Amino acid sequence: MGKGKNKAHEPKNGRPQRGANGHSSRQNHRRMEMKYENSDKVKFPVKLAMWDFDHCDPKRCSGKKLERLGLIKSLRVGQKFQGIVVSPNGKGVVCPDDLEVVEQHGASVVECSWARLEEVPFNKIGGKHERLLPYLVAANQVNYGRPWRLNCVEALAACFAIVGRMDWASELLSHFSWGMGFLELNKELLEIYQQCTDADSVKRAEEEWLQKLEKETQERKSQAKEEDIWMMGNINRRGGGWQSDESESGGSSGESESEGDKQCVEYDSLGNAICIDSINSRKSLSEESEDEENDLEENKEPVSYDSLGNLI
């Protein structure tokens, strides 16, 4: 048997070592090499950068995934960026007028947690073109449907989309399974921002959109309140709860209408509507039947029986 470097090393149990994915350690090593070789070939048309403060879960952090793909570069605290800096510390909003800066110098973001903004030294990062993002809704798995809570890749894609580079936005988001949903979710709003020019016009468009949302919310609340069945009360006690047969059949005579107007309604112990005329009619019928029985009793001839009980 060979010794030294040529010796085949096998585990004691005679089985090759396998990773969590079921492949051998050598196969996994080759897969990792191929992954990073392919990632080095991925190039983005403009420079992308971020200040990463390690606030997020590395498995869910979109910025770290872009870094693994070789699409974005991490900056140190103290470094400045020449392009657009999408930051909560920005004064104006991203607008189509920023296209030239984006195409020449790229864009950057601050990769941090929304709950820990006070820990970020904004005075030591950023650049000349710090920008806020206007109203947009997140589509990522952590903050889906929440306004303004965009993650790193969504912020960059929103910046590119607003300045008119939808191709760059789509290219970035294509690396995430939920990514294209961000553009679809904000399609109408992004088209409105793209039609603006400067930051002031984007801000006006944002305010109009928020007013529209507020109006729709109030309308839904008022409509839900009007249609609430618990606000309707007992429908048996509402006016017109009982109609005569003539009115239902479409009778047009004046007598039937006048009679229908005179009819009154009462309610039993369960709240059911009862017509007084029907009660009176039943009473009159019972009285007539009683009178007929009395007349029959008065007109009856006397009857006698013999000792055996036979009728005579």
Binding residues: 62, 110, 133, 148
| Residue of 225, 228, 256 whose CA lies nearest to 243 | 256
| Residue of 110, 123, 14, 29 whose CA lies nearest to 62 | 110
Tell me how far apart the terminal alpha carbons of the chain are, to the nearest angstrom: 138
Residue-wise burial string across 271-307, b where 16 or more C-beta atoms lie within 10 A, e elsewhere:
eeeeeeeeeeeeeeeeeeeeeeeeeeeeeeeeeeeee
What are the structure tokens assigned to 279, written together?
Answer: 């009660």
Strand 73-74 to strand 127-132: parallel, antiparallel, or no bridges (unpaired)? Answer: unpaired
Amino acid letter for position 87: S
What are the structure tokens assigned to 176, written together?
Answer: 């995430």
Q: Which residues carry a binding-site annotation for S-adenosyl-L-methionine? A: 62, 110, 133, 148
What are the structure tokens assigned to 280, written together?
Answer: 């009176």
